Chains A and B, each alone.
Chain A
Amino acid sequence: MLSFAIRRLLQFIPTILGITLIMFLLLNLIPGNAALSSAGKLELGADVIEKLKADLQLDKPAYVRYFNYVGRLAQGDMGQSYLRRYDVADVVFDRLGATLKLAFSAIGIAIVLGVPLGFIAALKQGTWPDTLSTVVAVVSVSIPQFWLGILLMYVFSYMMHLLPTSGYGDGASANLVMPAMTLGLGYTALLARITRAAVVEVLSADYIRTARAKGLSEFRISYRHVFRNAFVLILTTAGLLFGSLIGQTVVVERVFSWPGIGSLLVESIFQRDIPVAQGCLLVIVIVFLIVNLLVDILYSVINSQIDFK
């Protein structure tokens, strides 16, 4: 299993290289650059702009800049912000902590609520709890996060004065509640649907009929036979979901002024601060890869049929 993990980690290298190329190309296609945009505001002279460009190496061709970038990246240097001259790595990893906190809370809510809901819906297939959970799930998936976020703010902060409207609040858990709920609701619904589908599939399996023919109680069948098999199916989708969650915190982070990597990414793109945007994207991709690797490892721990080959 260790050699499997190491092999997978080595496979990260070509993946990341490919992604840096695509990322670099796309970000450099954005019209305008940091030097020009700051110059525009400050009404700087042409000679100053030329000097700024030379400073930021923006006078060099794109391929030269790309190889420089990758070369520095290989040494662990993610470059410096065009605008503020700080090390990208420091800021990005600082922001990553806040995003991970938000993402883990959201996925926690989704697992704690979504999996049992889906399980109940599947066991009560075709009855009113099943129908109700379907309706709630469809509604929850359809609600836009920016709207839900503002609604929660209105109710819990403005009307009831229970929770702070926004901000990180130095990590206070009261500040985390609403962003995590906003981000978690859609995923709760998705996970409930996935769980329901998985459990329904497992319930119709021949080995469940065997378990019934053994005379086991429905409760024992559920926890010994249904849940583990359904979990294999749930985990696959939930893992992918979690990976994508990291990249989808943007909206919630904006709404709640959450100092995460998503809001940093949006800011940096608006300001044409390419190194920061690259850093954010790269970290999001790496987290995605690591999550998938962990899911694969967990998957094979649960499912005896997977060999590490």
Chain B
Amino acid sequence: MPEAIKLLQVSGLRTEFRTPAGAVQAVRGVSFGLDPGETVGIVGESGSGKSVTALTILRLIKSPPGRISAGSVKFRGIDLLAQDDAYMRSIRGNRISMIFQEPMTSLNPLMTVGDQLAEVMQWHQNLSRREGMNRAIELLRKVQIPSPEKRVRDYPHHMSGGMRQRVMIAIALACDPAILIADEPTTALDVTIQSQIMDLMLGLKDEFGSAVLMITHDLGVIAEMAQRVIVMYAGQVVEAGSVYEIFDEPLHPYTQALLRSVPKLGSRTEKGRHRLQEIPGLVASLINIPDGCAFRERCRFAGPECNGAIELQAAGDGRMVRCIKVA
């Protein structure tokens, strides 16, 4: 059946990296969609391919060694992977922008934050430097940096990690993008700063109306911000659904294990203390991945049937799960 054109539709995306040890398949056939104004969370452990997915959408994978080998990334129906570099540049930072994990090193140390903010608007919106600076002050105020008129002339080393991440958010929102990709925006920050940044992002998301792709390993962040969740493991989507469904009734054994490994305030068992359960084993190697479920080595339900190819299957009202035991 013909579907309405999504804001962003990622289909069958594959990204690999050539290494001396063999091709690392970081993203193995990832598909998902994003609607205007919606927040979708991508969760997974380190090495699950979530950051590479994000970088692939903006074609920021360094090539070589990286290579986008298959799939499509349709932004408003136009496949970004098929466009030339000039088109891609008109999208980056303008229609789709990105916030990175490392606020301490993501800003140019030799440019004032004002110049770095103004730059993106001068580039995409043909503003003069003066107009850019005025807008920069406005944006710094929006990300709640005190006395932005002064701060606009500061260099990054004058600012703390939290402030720098606010500047990064301001840069990302400067051109009023349709999609904001946030790659672990709070991971490198103190816990108190983390919640401030999350609150800020929640507020700005409503104000700017951008759709957000929130990439994180922090389930708390997802619960707070996202409407839908995509769980990734070893470069594949293993489960997708609404945030309530995933948290209330996780289907995939990996999602279940992930949720059990999160501490809950005041949770106790009859015996007294509640022990956190880690997931046994290590994240599967992404070199020469065998067929079948990538999680089976660590899964307590695994059986011989898990060795065959397993597809992502519908599990009622928009939910998807990649597990032969559940579906």
Contacts and interface: CB of A to CB of B under 8 A. Distances in A.
A297 B90 CA distance: 40
Interface in A198-220: 205-207, 209-217, 220
Contacts of A266: none
B208 to A, nearest CB: 17
A305 interface: yes
Interface in A241-270: none
Nearest to B168: A210
Contacts of B109: 207, 229, 303-305
Given A215-B120, A216-B123, A210 B107 contact: yes
B114 to A, nearest CB: 13
Given A214-B171, A215-B92, A215-B93, A304 B155 contact: yes
A224 B98 CA distance: 20
A112 interface: no
Contact of A216 (B98, B107, B119): B119
A205 B91 contact: no
A305 B155 contact: yes
Nearest to A218: B85
B258 interface: no
A213 B93 contact: yes
Nearest to B89: A215
Contact size range, A: 20 to 34
B255 interface: no
Contact of B110 (A211, A215, A216, A232): A232
A302 interface: yes
B58 A207 contact: no
Interface string B80-123: 00000000111111100110101001111111000000011001
A206 B106 contact: yes
B124 A215 contact: yes
Given A214-B123, A215-B120, A209 B155 contact: no
A304 B110 contact: yes
A65 interface: no
Contacts of B90: 215
Nearest to B90: A215
B176 to A, nearest CB: 14
B298 interface: no
Interface in B47-74: 58, 60, 64
B205 interface: no
A205 B98 CA distance: 16
A53 interface: no
A55 B156 CA distance: 66
Contact of A215 (B91, B111, B157): B91
A228 B110 contact: yes
A95 interface: no
Contacts of B60: 209, 212-213
Contacts of A228: 110
Contacts of B107: 207, 210
Contact of A206 (B88, B102, B111, B119): B102
B39 to A, nearest CB: 19
B152 to A, nearest CB: 14
A78 to B, nearest CB: 43
Interface string A274-309: 000000000000000000000000000011110000
Contacts of B88: 215
A225 B155 contact: no
A207 B93 contact: no
Given A215-B124, A220-B123, A210 B106 contact: yes
B96 to A, nearest CB: 9
Contacts of A302: 110
Nearest to A208: B108
Contacts of A216: 89, 93, 119-120, 123
Interface of A: 126, 205-207, 209-217, 220, 224-225, 228-229, 232, 302-305
The list of the 6 closest CB pairs from A to B, nearest first, reads A215-B92, A214-B93, A215-B93, A206-B105, A215-B89, A207-B108
18 contacts: A205-B105, A206-B100, A209-B100, A209-B106, A210-B106, A212-B60, A213-B58, A214-B97, A214-B120, A215-B89, A215-B91, A215-B123, A215-B124, A216-B93, A216-B119, A224-B119, A229-B110, A304-B155
Given A207-B106, A210-B171, 12 more contacts: A210-B107, A210-B108, A215-B88, A216-B93, A216-B123, A224-B119, A228-B110, A229-B109, A232-B110, A304-B110, A304-B155, A304-B157
